[in-house]
Amino acid sequence: MVEDINLKEIQRKVYMTFFQDGLWDIFLGLFILGWGLSILTEAVYLPAVFFTGIYFTIWGIKKWLTYPRIGYVRFSATSRRKITGRFVILGTVVLLLGVIAGVLWGIGARPQWLADYFPLIFNGMLAAIVCLVAYWARVNRFYLHAALIFLGAVFHLWLGIRWEFGFIGAGSIIVLIGVGILIIFLRKYPRMVEEAHIEDRQ
Amino acid sequence: MRTDNSGGEVQESITKIDKLIHEPSRYMLMAYLYVVEVADFLFLIRQTGMTWGNLSAHLSKLEAAGYVVIEKEFLGKKPHTTVRLTDEGRNAFEEYRGNMKRVLDNLPAK
């Protein structure tokens, strides 16, 4: 049993390195920010543009910024399939939510209770998705991000703050948290170049 | 009677323990490589806290035993070394863990 626990702990540690640089926090923050901007500008396509645009940019930055500092690791094929599957499902759900929200908003065909509590339901679902990520990846600060997203709707319903500003506010705070983590990461892990150890060991 | 049997099992399992993997640093390296498909030198250094020289020396021993494969490449002008566990290494690691578990499980209770 002791060996099993240790291996699981090591696996967890390896997964955590994925979130160590704060880039996924920035991704989430910008995505939420994009959602707020899309409501503000009534450009329904904006979340999808933000999602894909930032996603590929983050991977590029990771290659240039993260790997030379903490190294590169590729998870096993089974783990990769599992992680990809989960994120594809989450991505699809998020985009579907966006489409549903856009359509309902556009045609105005929604029951009163849905109209009244729609922001709470919508933000609640988004927050639940972020909580799932926090749970799967065991990155506790994502629970805080989820709370911020949910609070956006709470502030809208009970304090009268515009719904989109809740998204923009939450997104901005999440981005700032991500940037803070990134700065700490960059200070903690300077770039390292492989030494001529390969020849040494011969 | 049970004590005699378990004592025999313990002895047998102890003799089967792979001394190469039993060294803590190498066990740690094998464990990291076991949970991933491939990792580079830098990743292993960051995770294990070893020095380049130490890591190199341990990986050389594991490579000589056929437990890991070390691949060298150049990214631009910079050297980049990746390490992966071979099937033999994976089996050896599982066997080592099995043997250790048997040894620990069969130790007589206080």
Percent of chain A's residues with pLDDT above 90: 33
Nearest CA in chain A to B30: A7
Whether A163 shows a pLDDT value over 80: the answer reads yes
Identify residues of B whose CB sits under 8 angstroms from chain A CBs.
Answer: 31-32, 34-47, 52-53, 55-57, 59-60, 70, 72, 78-82, 97, 100-101, 104
Residue A22: what are its φ and ψ, rounded to 5°?
Answer: 80, 0
Of B56, B80, B104, the CB nearest to A197: B56
Q: Tally helices (H) and strands (E) across chain B.
A: 6, 3
Residue A197 inside a domain? The answer is no
Helix-, strand-, coil-residue percentages of chain A, each rounded to 5 = 85, 0, 15
Average of per-residue pLDDT across A27-44:
88
B76-90 confidence digits (pLDDT tens): 778 889 999 999 999
The CA-based dihedral angle spanning residues A64, A69, A71, A74, taken in that order and rounded to the nearest 10 degrees: -50
Q: Are B60 and B79 in contact (CB under 8 A)?
A: no
Amino acid A200: pLDDT: 47
Amino acid A105: pLDDT: 66
A67-99 confidence digits (pLDDT tens): 999 999 988 777 778 878 887 887 788 778 777
Residue A19: what are its φ and ψ, rounded to 5°?
Answer: -110, 5
Residue A114 and residue A82: Cα distance in Å, rounded?
A: 34
How many contacts (CB atoms, under 8 Å) link A and B? 85
The enclosing H or E element of B80 equals strand B78-85
Nearest CA in chain A to B42: A71
Nearest CA in chain B to A10: B32
Whether A137 shows a pLDDT value over 60: the answer reads yes
Domain containing A101 equals: 2-191
pTM of the model: 0.78
Place of tokens 């515009």: A162
Is residue A16 less than 8 Å (CB to CB) from chain B?
Answer: no
Place of tokens 């000589």: B64
Residue A20 inside a domain? The answer is yes
Higher pLDDT, A15 or A108: A15
Across chain B, mean pLDDT equals 86
| Residues A71, B38: C-beta atoms closer than 8 Å | no
Q: Which two tokens stand for residue B92?
A: 């050896």
Domain count, chain A: 1
Write down the CATH number for the domain with range B19-97. 1.10.10.10
Give burial (CB, 10 Å; 0-12/13-18/19+) of A196: exposed
Least confident of A35-49, A108-122, B23-37: A108-122
Q: Domain ranges in chain B?
A: 19-97
Nearest CA in chain A to B35: A11
| Residues A71, B80: C-beta atoms closer than 8 Å | no
| Residues B46, A189: C-beta atoms closer than 8 Å | yes
| Residues A71, B55: C-beta atoms closer than 8 Å | no
| Residues A198, B36: C-beta atoms closer than 8 Å | no
Residue A103 inside a domain? The answer is yes
Amino acid A2: pLDDT: 47
Whether A107 shows a pLDDT value over 70: the answer reads no
Query: Is A44 in a helix, a strand, or coil?
Result: coil
Whether B106 shows a pLDDT value over 80: the answer reads no
Average of per-residue pLDDT across B28-41:
93
Residue A199 inside a domain? The answer is no
Q: Are B82 and B40 in contact (CB under 8 A)?
A: yes
Q: Which two tokens stand for residue B54?
A: 């130490």
